[in-house]
A and B are shown apart, each in its own frame.
Chain A
Amino acid sequence: MINRVLGVVAVLLLTTQQAYADPVMLTQSGTFLGRMPAGDADSPLRVTVDLDGDIPVATYAMARFQNNAPQLRMPGGGWLPWTENRADLVDNGFQTNDDGTLTFELIDDDLSISFRPVVITIAYSVGDDFKSGYVVID
C-alpha cells in the first residue's frame, strides 16, 4: 500500500536541496510558502523552520492533489491515502536542530503529480495546536 498513488503518470523525486534561503515560520492558520514549477520540484524540498521557541511534539507532511486525493507521509518517506482527519496523521519524527530550528527533509519521496498542482503541507503539533505551511507545486 505504501507509495500506492492514484494512477502514477509522473513521478516527482524530491531530492535534498534547500528550498528557502532563510528559515520560515509556520502558523496556526497555515503559512503560504510559495509556488514552485513542477520542473523545479525535481530538485529539492528541504524546508527549515524557525520554531520561535516552540517545542514540537510531532511533525507531519501531507499532500493534496487536484483530484481531491489527499495523502499523508509516513516516517520512511512513503505516502498513504489520508482521510483529511487530523487524528489520522502520523508523526514523521523530524528532529529539532541545535539552533532552535527544525528541518523537514522530503528526500527521494515518490509522489504522483498526475493531478497537479499538488499542495504539500508541512506541520508540527505543539500542545493542542498545529502550525503549518504549504508549498504549491504546479
Chain B
Amino acid sequence: MLHRSLQIGLITTALMWANLAHSQSLTVDDVDQIISQAVAEASAHVADDAVIAVVDRMGNVLGVYAMNPTAVPDVTISSGRGIPVGNGLEGLTLAITPLATISKAITGAYLSSSGNAFTSRTASQIVQEHFNPGERGQPAGPLFGVQFSQLPCSDMARFGEDIGGGPRRSPLGLSADPGGLPLYKSGQVVGGVGVLADGVYGLDLSVADFDRDLDEMIAIAAQQGFEPPEDIKGHRITVEGKLFRYADVDGSFLRAGGATAAIDPANYIAVAGYTPAGRRSGLAYGSDASGITLSVDVTVPGSDVFVLSDGTGNNRYAPRASLAPAPVAGGLTSEEVRTLLTQALAVAYRARAQIRRPLGSHAQVSVSIVDAEANILAIARTPDAPIFGTDVSLQKARTATFASRSTTAEELSNVAEVELLPGVLTIPPLSTYVEAVQTFVGPTALADGTAFADRSGGNLSRPFYPDGINGNSNGPLSVPFEVWSPFNVGLQLDLVLPDIVARLDGSPPPPQGCSALPQSSAAPGPMPTRLANGLQIFPGSVPVFRGDMLIGGIGVSGDGIDQDDMISFLGLHNAGEVLDTGVGNAPPELRADNLVVGGVNLRFVNCPFSPFLNSREQGVCAGK
C-alpha cells in the first residue's frame, strides 16, 4: 500500500510539474515577435542579410529566418588571432550561416536555467586559454572545451527536422560568438535566439572592453519581452571571484528601440536535418514530449529526479547492468548503477551551487554512468540542471573511462591521418598525440592503466603546461599556443572534426556515434565507440573501479567544475560505502595525481571549500 501511495504521489507530482511546465513554452506568435524585433534592429543597422534562429529549451529548431533568403551569405570561422587556414576550423569560409545561428541559439538555451542566464558571450569567456581571456598567468577557462559538445555525430542527442524530445544536437557544438541569448517566460527558460549578421563566427578575445557587436545587438532586440530575471544574468554570478559577462550591450543601445518590423513567413527557410521551412511552437520543458521529465523509477528521498524520456513515458537510460564487462566478470550490476546514480544526485542536492542564484541554492547537474566500453548505463539529473550538461556529463564519463584503459594509446594510434579538405585541411594521425604524451609523461602513458579523471587529461590538453603559465609549451594533447584557439584545440577536435564536417549537410549521425575509435564489443555492431559523443577536457568525472579493475566511469556536469568533480568523486565513494561490493574510486596508487610531469603533479579531482549547504565540513574529498 505504501508503495502504491508513493507511486500515486509521484505521478501526481509529475502531472503538476507537467501542468506547470506546459504554460512555459514558445508559441508561433512568440517566434514571430522575436523575429520581427530582430528584423527591425537588423534593418536599422542596414544588416539586410541577417539570419536569425529560434530554438526551444530542448534544442528543437522553431524557425530560421533569412532576411534575404535568396542570397544567404557565407560565414567565416575565425577567432581573430590570425591563425591561418589549415588549423582546425580556423579561417574556413562556408555556406553554413543558418547552422551557425542554430548553434548560437542552442548555446543560449542550453547554458541557462532558472538559476542562471548565460549567453554565447559567457561561453566565449570560459573556453579560452585564460580565465579571463588574455589575463596572463591565469588558468584556462573553467569550461575549456565545452564548445565541442552537443555534437551532430552524438549517439545520445536526438536529431531530425521534427519537433520532438531532446536534447537535440547542435550543428557546430556550442558557440562562443556573441549573439546567442536565452529566452525566458515567467522566469523559466523556454529557448534561445541566435543571430549572424556580421559574417564571422568568432568569439570575444577580451572581456576588458565593451563591444558593439552587431549580432549581439540584434539578439538583444530579439529577446525583448523574453529576458531572464535580472538577478540571474551572468553578470550577477562569480567564479574564482570574477563576474561572468552576459552581454556587452543592453536595450538602451538599440537603434530600433525594441520596435517590430513586418516579416514575411516565406523567409522562414528550411535547414536540412534541423527544420523544414516555416515556424512552429516549442515544447514545454518537463513534459514527457520534451524528452526530459520527472522520474518515477529513479528516486532520491525528498528530492525530484528527472530523466530522459522517449516521449511515451519510458526512461531512455534507466539504470541497467554493465555490458562490458558483464557483471559476472566484475562489471556493475543494475543495482550498483542505481546506487551510484542516486548517491551522486544526493551529493548534488547537498552541494552549494557555484553558478546559480539565489545564493544558497543547491547544485543542479546531470549525471551519466558508462561501462568500460562506453555503453550508457544510466543518465539522470536534477530538475533545473542546464541542458548542456546532459551531453557533457556523458562525454566526461566516457573520457575518464577511455583515458584510464590500458588500450588507449593503441586505439588512438590506429586512427589514421584524414585529408579532410584536400590541399586545405589535413588532420594528423592521432598517433601524433600519443607520441607527444609518451614523450611528455613517460613511455607507458595511456597504456599502463593509470586512472585518469577528466581533470587529469585536461591538464595535458591546455595550450600552456602547467595551465595558464605563459611562455611554457603546450600540453601534449593541445596544439601550440601560436595556432591554438577554441576552433583549433588539438586532440579533442581532431578526433571528431571529420564527423562534424560530414554533417554540415544535415545528415544523421552514424549509428555508432562520433570518432573512428573501436566500438563496444558487447554485441554485434553498430555499438557506441569509445567516445561516441566526443571527448571532453574540463573537470567533472572519475573512472569507476572494482578493486584495481576499471569497470566504467561517472560524469557530472551543470555546476562549477569543482562541484562537478566533487559530485562524481564523492558520489562514487559514498556508493562504494553503501554497496560494500568493492566498487569505488581508483586505488590512490593508480591515480594520475601520482604522475609528476614537468615537475608538477597532475591533478585528479579538486573539491570545493565549504561545499555543503547546512554544513561546515571542509576537505570532504581528502583521504578518500
Contact = CB atoms under 8 A, between A and B. Distances in A.
Contacts of A119: 511, 526
A16 interface: no
Given A29-B519, A68-B316, A85-B323, A121 B525 contact: yes
Interface string B517-550: 0010011111100000000000000000000000
A55 B172 CA distance: 46
A123 B524 contact: yes
Interface residues of B, number: 25
Interface string A50-92: 0000000000101010111100000000000001111101000
Contact of A85 (B158, B310, B312, B522): B522
Interface of A: 6-7, 29-30, 32, 60, 62, 64, 66-69, 83-87, 89, 114-117, 119, 121, 123, 130-132, 134, 136, 138
A62 B323 contact: no
B350 interface: no
B310 A67 contact: yes
A30 B314 contact: no
Contacts of A130: 523-524
B310 A6 contact: yes
Given A29-B525, A84-B522, A138 B508 contact: yes
A87 B326 contact: yes
Contacts of B375: 84
Secondary structure type dominating chain B contacts: loop
Contacts of A85: 321, 323, 326, 522-523
A30 B524 contact: yes
30 contacts: A6-B312, A7-B310, A29-B519, A29-B525, A30-B525, A32-B526, A60-B524, A62-B523, A62-B524, A64-B511, A64-B526, A66-B158, A66-B159, A67-B165, A67-B311, A67-B316, A68-B317, A68-B376, A83-B320, A83-B321, A84-B523, A85-B326, A89-B523, A114-B312, A115-B310, A117-B508, A119-B511, A121-B525, A121-B526, A132-B525
Interface of B: 158-160, 165, 310-312, 314, 316-317, 320-321, 323, 326, 375-376, 508, 511, 519, 522-527
A126 to B, nearest CB: 12
B315 to A, nearest CB: 10
Contacts of A30: 519, 524-526
B525 A69 contact: no
Nearest to A130: B524
A84 B311 CA distance: 21
Nearest to B313: A7
Nearest to B158: A66
B335 to A, nearest CB: 15
Nearest to A26: B524
